[in-house]
Structure 1
Amino acid sequence: MAKLQAGYLFPEIARRRAAHLLKYPDAKIISLGIGDTTEPIPDVITNAMAEKLRAAIAATYYADLGIEDSDIFVSDGAKCDISRLQVLFGSNVTIAVQDPSYPAYVDSSVIMGQTDLYQQDVQKYGNIEYMRCNPENGFFPDLSTVPHDSPKSIFEIPGAKEVAVETASFSKYAGFTGVRLGWTVVPKELLFSDGHPVAKDFNRIVCTCFNGASNIAQAGGLACLSPEGLKAMHDVVGFYKENTEIIVDTFTSLGFNVYGAKNAPYVWVRFPGRNSWDVFAEILEKVNVVTTPGSGFGPGGEGFVRVSAFGHRDNIIEAARRLKQLYKPVAAAAANCYLPSLVTEQHASIRLGGLIDTARSLGTILRWSALDFSV
């Protein structure tokens, strides 16, 4: 625990927001930082009472992929399952993360004793492989050969069931950030080197450390997967995509380079040559809008801020107006004249199929989340 750097990212943002309010008590802050959904959960979901959630998940998301009900572990969210997976594999492993990456991937590894000390000069922990993702390498890995905008499941890739586990949740799909419901898929084909099924050990950990998702949450999850629920979720997702377009249009009109915002409602805005916490402070101080500094997701996020599109439409429009006042086109053009602060090393992109082959040859288990490749 002593190795952990500062506080967890989002409580630190909340602390700075609170300090800002003490300094400017009349400020009308708009929060575009943390990814909490804002729109109501559709009635068809909140009114549901039912069972058989595992079967519904298997039928909805894995119908043609050979994943069975028994391979699915229903949980209180992907974040909690990430920590349980760390317990499963213990401390004598090497972790690889995309960089930038969701902070819990790294911090849970530190807590589990899977890392060496923090290296201040490079802003990385020892014994973690940081896979840099940036505009210069096209945000590795290369998904251009996949027939969808992005894979819906890693199990679409042949051989994945032998080397991968997958976590997912209803948090963003259905607005369940306060309800807490998710699942992890551990295929029966996934074995330790001695042939023992990984699923058996994971089941033991889940039974020991977790009492199960509430009946109410599971009932809501089942309603999400009904035809009416899927349509309602898609409608809400469409709303957030419209918010995303507003944010993207705002920054591009100001001359900034923006990334992501295609498979997740997060817009990554590049501020070359600038410290991301300084940009965070500038936006908060001058226009009372909360964002997320990119460096909070790892050293690869330096020089970026992440702007969340989760928000009421009026707040998104007002935030866009304030940001346009702050960053005039001329100023934005001048900012983009700075040399990039990110490493521009040219990594060779590889296909996901190559990841599967590599994992098999190294005896490595891949952990996949649907948000991992939505930069």
Structure 2
Amino acid sequence: MAKINQNYLQLQGSYLFAEVARRRNKFISENPNAQVISLGIGDVTRPLPEAVVKSLHDSVDEMAEANTFRGYGPEQGYEFLINAIIENDYKARGIELKTSEVFVSDGSKCDVGNIQEIFSADSIVAVQDPVYPVYVDTNVMAGRSGAFDKEKNQYSNIVYLTCNKENGFVPELPKSKVDIIYLCYPNNPTGMTLSKEELKKWVDYARSNKCVILYDSAYEAYIQEDDVPRSIYEIEGAKEVAIEFRSFSKTAGFTGTRCAYTVVPKELLAYDEDGNSVPLNDLWNRRQTTKFNGVSYITQKGAAAIYSEQGKAQIASLVDYYMTNAKIIREGVASLGIEVFGGVNAPYIWLKTPNGLGSWEFFDKLLTEANIVGTPGVGFGQAGQGYFRLTAFGSRENTEKAVERLSKLQF
């Protein structure tokens, strides 16, 4: 008799974005003439940069010739891409990394989910609330969550760090013991950031308590303000306690092309049952070489092209396009008297639902009355109840239409 992994039965309902899509599709099937604008799922709409496309074409041609064809590549990634990452994303900011500390992958979502495999099953996990659902769900799958409290909309063995208007969306340090801390900045879903001083508190806490910070900076390229840290390794001592995740998905339009990377410093240690220190770089390398055959040469050549002079200029143009959308949405929502957050250093706008509407109530109102799809804040956690996320990744035309439709709603 084949038995299932019982932990999967602890998962609550469907994945958030699958539920959003289900409701959207149901509405469209019942209202086929409705012109629905999607500002919900954070998928990009602009094409790949020209420098990337050219590099992809050139590498396909290489794969068609016997003398330049490549089969399996290095599991950790080709050095031409790793060196470009180190030189441009880290060394340019005064951060020194070794090539053995950078692991190229097919997406940050995969890495953020898979990284928990190298930690003990009884590790205590802390997450921000609201939170990107993958952080919670993958730990539920691994059996770390405990029972689900429907009233609190939380798992008993996961520590939730509330982020809301009252605390400026800056989570407090854990009041109880934790082993692993998930931080996401610029934040998804709130679009907010931490200052270097605030981030240093987390690094100091992790060093004092032998914790590991899993730092998701997938939206780093959207930071506009100079005093916002772009990497956790800008903080002294962070290499001793933090793993950083980066992605080309939103930076360079790779949501369908798939390429990202994870940094695991050599200094970073965790501990076995006897209290002996173990380098996490070695464990992650072992996991990847066993379960992952690497990102294709073609994709990595495309990713490397974003670091060329042409690529950098085209990426800057992409970011500017989406951040202009964010400004349009943010100012449009604020003009309606609705409290709005984010949208300054991130492509997400986080708004307080008006008149005490619940997150899903507001979702239904926008969908049925304005034909706009967003994401209910409560889908990201209990602290997201009464909030709502809009994304700036739509086209300019649809972004402007959506704001116009919002202005006609009665709240």
Report TM bin, short chain: 0.7 to 0.9
1:91 corresponds, among 121, 139, 142, to 121
Separation in 2, partners of 1:207, 1:117: 34
| Local SS of the residue matching 1:7 | coil
Structure 2 match to 1:109: 139
| Local SS of the residue matching 2:135 | helix
Q: Give yes or no for the alignment of 1:202 onto 2:254.
A: no
Of 189-198 and 111-120, the range deviating more from structure 2: 189-198
- List runs of 5+ in structure 2 lacking aligned partners: 1-7, 60-77, 172-193, 199-224
Structure 2 match to 1:280: 363
Q: Deviations over 1:35-74 (max 9, x none)?
A: 0000111111111157510111111111121211110000
Contact in 2 for aligned 1:292/1:305 (Cα 8 Å): yes
Of 187-196 and 1-10, the range deviating more from structure 2: 187-196
| Local SS of the residue matching 1:53 | helix
Q: Give yes or no for the alignment of 1:119 onto 2:126.
A: no
Structure 1 match to 2:388: 305
Structure 2 match to 1:25: 32
| Local SS of the residue matching 1:10 | helix
1:217 corresponds, among 286, 299, 308, to 299
Q: Deviations over 1:274-305 (max 9, x none)?
A: 21011001100111110000011111111011
Of 41-50 and 106-115, the range deviating more from structure 2: 41-50
Structure 2 match to 1:143: 195
Structure 1 match to 2:245: 167
Q: Give yes or no for the alignment of 1:53 onto 2:81.
A: yes
Separation in 2, partners of 1:325, 1:94: 47
Structure 1 match to 2:41: 34
Q: Aligned-pair distance for 1:321?
A: 1.0
Contact in 1 for aligned 2:327/2:344 (Cα 8 Å): no
Separation in 1, partners of 2:328, 2:301: 34
Q: Aligned-pair distance for 1:145?
A: 3.8
Q: Aligned-pair distance for 1:258?
A: 0.2
Q: Deviations over 1:207-235 (max 9, x none)?
A: 11111111121111100112221111111
| Local SS of the residue matching 1:131 | strand
Contact in 1 for aligned 2:363/2:375 (Cα 8 Å): yes
Q: Aligned-pair distance for 1:144?
A: 6.5
Task: After TM superposition, list the pairs within 5 Å mapping 1:224-373 onto structure 2.
Answer: 224-271=306-353, 273-327=356-410, 331=411
Structure 2 match to 1:356: none
Structure 1 match to 2:22: 15
Structure 1 match to 2:230: 152
Percent of aligned pairs with the same amino acid: 45
Q: Aligned-pair distance for 1:249?
A: 1.4
Q: Deviations over 1:71-127 (max 9, x none)?
A: 000000110001221111142101111111111111111011111011111110111
Structure 1 runs of 4+ with >4 Å offset: none
Structure 2 match to 1:192: 270
Structure 2 match to 1:69: 99
| Local SS of the residue matching 1:192 | strand
Q: Deviations over 1:218-264 (max 9, x none)?
A: 11110011222111111110000111111111111100000011121
Separation in 1, partners of 2:360, 2:103: 38
Separation in 1, partners of 2:406, 2:296: 41
Name the aligned partner's letter for residue 11 of structure 1. A
- List runs of 5+ in structure 1 lacking aligned partners: 332-375
| Local SS of the residue matching 1:85 | helix
Of 143-152 and 283-292, the range deviating more from structure 2: 143-152
| Local SS of the residue matching 1:62 | helix
Contact in 1 for aligned 2:101/2:265 (Cα 8 Å): yes
Aligned residue pairs total 328
Separation in 1, partners of 2:118, 2:126: 16
Name the aligned partner's letter for residue 381 of structure 2. G
Contact in 1 for aligned 2:24/2:373 (Cα 8 Å): yes
RMSD: 1.5
2:258 corresponds, among 166, 169, 180, to 180
Name the aligned partner's letter for residue 230 of structure 2. K
Contact in 1 for aligned 2:107/2:247 (Cα 8 Å): yes
Q: Aligned-pair distance for 1:19?
A: 0.6
| Local SS of the residue matching 2:270 | coil
Contact in 1 for aligned 2:328/2:399 (Cα 8 Å): yes
Separation in 2, partners of 1:180, 1:102: 19
| Local SS of the residue matching 2:10 | coil
| Local SS of the residue matching 1:47 | helix
Structure 2 match to 1:44: 51
User: Greater relative contact order (Cα 8 A, min sep 6): structure 1 or 2?
Assistant: 1
